[in-house]
Structure 1
Amino acid sequence: MRRVTAIDYERFLDVMCIDGERLASCVDSAPGDSPVPGCPGLTLAETVQHLGDVYRSTADQTRLPNNREVTPSSGIRSSIPGDSARLAAYLRAGLAEVSGELSAHRPEERCATWWPADASFGFWARRLTHETIVHRVDVQAAAGLRRDHVDTDIAVDGVDEVLTLWFDHQLGELAITASRAATVAVRTGGRAWVAYAGPTGTRVRAVDPNAVGPVDATVSGDPFSVYLWLWGRLPDWTVRFEGDADAIAQFWVLLSVATR
């Protein structure tokens, strides 16, 4: 199966575990009902609970026959386990379960996923790494702590993942289209993507950064800022905009629908 990322499988697992532990160590830094700035209506405790649930449900899904259809995990599937110590323990136990499951397989081995382009264990290592990073940022923000950065190559891979998996694939699965045709280029870390949205649907293609061609607007910035902005975790002033403001607004709204 074609690899959709240049990041090594073991590297993803290492980052997932490191950031998962960073998140767990922040749980007692603020009350559980502290709001998450990047996700209005979500609290610190709910974020940790959700990620602990995602770890468990992913471990379950990887054990299914590889031709079984699965869907993205969302919401909270069990009751919040109480105080911060129990919540952190719940997260760590889920992380240990899924990391153990993924570590026992090769990245190219087939398993059930919800992305036709990658029905392998490699998909889950990549997906959970970015899920962990984004929610680690959420918890740090809810606790009023500094957001730890990630390495540039991981952030650039995160930009590629949110564009190709969520803006391109997931909006198509949801049958969501746009009211007007517009193209937005995303530039960061020496790479570029062109995202199209219109009445016929959405699609993304990676392009040579020196041959992007005509687009309606461009979003650019350092990789970590672009990564978190695409996930709705940073305000507009943290990235740079050029071109049609309405095209960028439409792009961001569609992406926020896909990733919620």
Structure 2
Amino acid sequence: MWAHDLVDPGRLLDVIATEGESLSELARTTAPEAPVPACPGFTTDGLLRHVGSVCRVVTARLAGGEPPAHWQREPDAEQTTEEYLRTGLRELHARLVAHPPGEWASTWSPEDESYLFWRRRMAHEVTVHRVDLEEAAGRERGHIGEDVALDGVDEVLRVWFAHRLFQLGLSGTREGSVAVRTGDHSWFARAGPGETHAWRCTEEEADRADAQVTGPPVVVYLWLWGRLPNGAVEQSGDFDAIAQLWALLRLATR
């Protein structure tokens, strides 16, 4: 199982609830047809429906022990998009609260088959999309806790980059390694033909990477998710290795 020591498991439940309220408020106050720049092809209404659908497919997977074939993908005739979103978030949150984080759960990461995987995954799902919808609404970005951001850096590198790309059959085209440093923590991400790996590392190991990416936790978190421009973080060393990391993450997280 992955080591989850960057954020308290209970905090992740609070994040899901708090960010869910923020999404509901944005659903009420943002034009449904407003485009979402970070998610090309999505409108505000479409992205809110997406989050509601993701909540339902996760809840169904947790209830049934395997990926469901069917779930409610759209609001029914009596529901607004906000009601569809709220109901999905409420049912998911209740399911996660009712089970201890270490209990077995069906996930798409064989290294972490636990309820904690979904607490973490859904906390970042709603946080990142809240940022997306704030941008669509023309608002300043709201608060993201440093502990949440650090955990998000860990998730995107060790789960999406290291594992999801393998599931998709994708890898790098050249050998290259990047050290990601933020908030007194370091990660080593390595890619090449047939491989993508990432792990938390010591400062000495990070120094041996071909390239370095540094910045405040929230900035690095959102940069790794493609929500901030390339110049938002400090970069040094092999810029092609950094470009490859960036490109692979866009494929992993699309």
Tell me the TM-score normalised to structure 1 length: 0.91
Contact map agreement 1:16 1:128 (CA 8 A) in 2: yes
Query: Which residue matches 1:110?
Result: 104
Equivalent residues of 1:63, 1:111 under 8 A apart? no
In the alignment, is residue 200 of structure 1 matched against residue 164 of structure 2? no
Question: Which residue does 1:56 correspond to in 2?
Answer: 56
Contact 1:194 1:204 in 2 (8 A): yes
Q: Deviations over 1:58-105 (max 9, x none)?
A: 11110123xx4x49xxxx96346699x921121111110000011111
Structure 1, gaps ≥5 residues long: none
Partner of 1:42: 42
Aligned residues: 253
String of CA shifts for 1:164-190, please: whole Å, max 9, x gaps: 110000001111121110001111111
Letter of the 1:200 counterpart:
G
Structure-2 separation of matches of 1:183 and 1:254: 13
Distance in 2 of aligned mates of 1:210 and 1:81: 55
Which residue number in structure 1 is paired with residue 153 of structure 2? 159
Q: Which moved more, 1:28-37 or 1:117-126?
A: 28-37
RMSD: 2.1
Matching residue of 2:19? 19
Distance 1:123 1:51 in 2: 17
C-alpha distance in 1 between matches for 2:221 and 2:211: 17
In the superposition, the TM-score normalised over structure 2's length comes to: 0.93
Aligned partner letter, 2:149: A
1:156 aligned partner, one-letter code: L
Superposed displacement of residue 3, structure 1 = 4.0
Tell me if 1:237 matches 2:222. Answer: no
Change (3 A) 1:145 1:81: farther
Aligned counterparts of 2:30 and 2:200: Cα–Cα separation in 1: 40
4+ runs deviating over 4 angstroms: 80-83
| Percent sequence identity over aligned pairs | 43
Moved more, 125-134 or 229-238: 229-238
1:249 and 1:229 map into 2 onto residues whose CA distance is 12
Distance 2:101 2:222 in 1: 26
